[in-house]
Amino acid sequence: MLTHKVFRILVYALALLLALSACDQDQKKPGAGTDRGQKTTASATRKAAALSGEEFVSLCRRARPREIQKALQEGAKVNGPNSKGETPLMAVARDNAADSVRALLEAGADIHTRGPQEETALILAAYRNSLNSVKALLDAGADPKAQDKKGWTPLRAAAYSNSPEVIKLLVEAGADPKARDSAGWTLLMDAAGHNKAESLQALLDAGAEVKAKGPHKVTALMIAAAKNEPESLRVLIKAGSDLNAANEEGGTALMLALQKESPDNLRVLLEAGANPALKSAEGKTALNYAEQNGRKEAAELLKAAMNKKKTGKRKRGR
C-alpha cells in the first residue's frame, strides 16, 4: 500500500506530464507561434503582394481610388514608373481620372515628376483634354508654364487638342496666351496650322495677338489660309486680322489660299475684303498664280473680284 508521500509524488508527476503534452499540442496547431513570428509572417505577405511599377500603373488606370490606396498600403510605390517611364500620376491624369489624381497626390505623388520627354502630368492631361484632371493638378500646384523637351507647354497641348475650357483654366492659372516657342511661332499660329477653330477663339479671348508675325513675317491668318478650314479663317478675320499683310516674299493670305484645291478659303477672304490686286515679290498677283497652276475656279473668283474692284473705283471717281 502506497504511503501518503509517494501518492503525492505520483500526482505531481502526472500533472507535469499533462501540462507538457498540452504545450506540445499548441505548438503543432496551424499559425501557432509568438506575436513576433506573426508580425514577421504578415510583413512578408505584404511585401510579396507589393505591385511592380508596371503593375501599379496599370492598376491605377482601371481601379477606383480605394483600390489604389489599398495597393499603396501593401507596398506599391506612389511614384514608381512603368517601363515607358510613365508614373501612376501621369497615367491617371491623362485618363481624366480626377479622383485617382487626388488619391495619389494625397499619398505623396510628386506633381513635378517628368517623363522620358520631360513631360509633366499637367502637359499630358491638357493634351488629352482631361479637364477634371487639369483642375485637380492646378489646385495642387502644378506648373502651368512647364515645358517638355520639344517645347510643348500645357497651353500648347490644350490648343492642339482644341480644348477651350482647358485653355481658359490654364490662362487663369498663369499660362501666357502670347507665348512663342523657341523658333518664334505663337500659340495662335500653331492652332491655325492644325485647324483648331475653338482653340483660336479661346486664345483670342485670353489675349493672344491676332496680328502678331512669326518667322518670315508669317501671320496666323496666312497659315489658316493655307489650310482647307474656312471656320478658322472666319475666327481670325472677325478678331481683326490684317487681310492684306505680306510675308517676306510678298505672299498674302489670298495667294497662300491657292495651295488648296478647294476655293472655300479664297471665297472667305475675298468676301471679307482681301485685295486681289496685290503683287508678290515676283510681281505676280493671286490671279497670276491661279492661272499658272491651272486653278480655273479660283481664277474665275479672282477675276470677278478684280473686276468688282475696278468697277468700284470708277464709280467713286465720278
Q: What is the mean pLDDT of residues 162-171?
A: 96
Indicate whether 140 belongs to any domain: yes
- Per-residue pLDDT of 113-139, as tens digits, reads 999 999 999 999 999 999 999 999 999
Q: What is the mean pLDDT of residues 6-14?
A: 50
Indicate whether 61 belongs to any domain: yes
- Give the Cα separation of 224 and 257 in Å (integer): 8
- Tell me, what's the pLDDT at 313? 61
Pair 113, 151 in one domain: yes
Indicate whether 13 belongs to any domain: no
Pair 154, 265 in one domain: no
Is 138 within 8 Å of 169 (Cβ atoms)? Answer: yes
Pair 80, 119 in one domain: yes
Percent of the chain whose predicted confidence (pLDDT) is above 90: 77
Into how many domains does the chain fold?
2
- Tell me, what's the pLDDT at 310? 73
Q: What 3 state SS string does 44-110 have? A: HHHHHHCCCHHHHHHHHHHCCHHHHHHHHHCCCCCCCCCCCCCCHHHHHHHCCCHHHHHHHHHCCCC
Q: Show the cell assigned to 312.
A: 468700284
Indicate whether 88 belongs to any domain: yes
- Model confidence at 288, in pLDDT bands (50, 70, 90)? very high
Q: What is the mean pLDDT of residues 226-248?
A: 94
Point out the domain boundary residue: 176, 194, 222.
Answer: 176
Point out the domain boundary residue: 159, 176, 193.
Answer: 176
Indicate whether 20 belongs to any domain: no
Q: Show the cell assigned to 154.
A: 500645357
Pair 201, 217 in one domain: yes
- Which tops the pLDDT comparison, 195 or 270? 270
Point out the domain boundary residue: 176, 194, 226.
Answer: 176
- Per-residue pLDDT of 72-84, as tens digits, reads 999 999 999 999 9
Indicate whether 195 belongs to any domain: yes
Pair 186, 313 in one domain: yes
Question: What is the pTM (predicted TM-score) of this model?
Answer: 0.78
Pair 316, 187 in one domain: yes
- Tell me, what's the pLDDT at 248? 96
Pair 145, 198 in one domain: no
Pair 184, 301 in one domain: yes
Indicate whether 106 belongs to any domain: yes
Q: How many CB atoms lie within 10 A of CB 63?
A: 18
- Tell me, what's the pLDDT at 254? 96
Pair 119, 152 in one domain: yes
- Give the Cα separation of 246 and 115 in Å (integer): 41
- Tell me, what's the pLDDT at 36? 41
Pair 318, 187 in one domain: yes
Pair 221, 271 in one domain: yes
- Tell me, what's the pLDDT at 242? 98
- Tell me, what's the pLDDT at 312? 60
- Per-residue pLDDT of 254-266, as tens digits, reads 999 998 888 999 9
Indicate whether 283 belongs to any domain: yes
Q: Which range is least confidently modeled, 51-55, 202-206, 211-215, 258-262?
A: 258-262
Give the position of cell 497651353: 155
Pair 299, 183 in one domain: yes
- Tell me, what's the pLDDT at 191? 94
- Which tops the pLDDT comparison, 86 or 46? 86
- Per-residue pLDDT of 16-70, as tens digits, reads 444 445 444 444 444 444 344 444 444 433 444 589 999 999 999 999 999 999 9
| Burial (0-12, 13-18, 19+ Cβ within 10 Å), 86 | buried
The domain spanning residue 248 has which CATH number?
Answer: 1.25.40.20
Q: Which domain holds residue 310?
A: 177-318
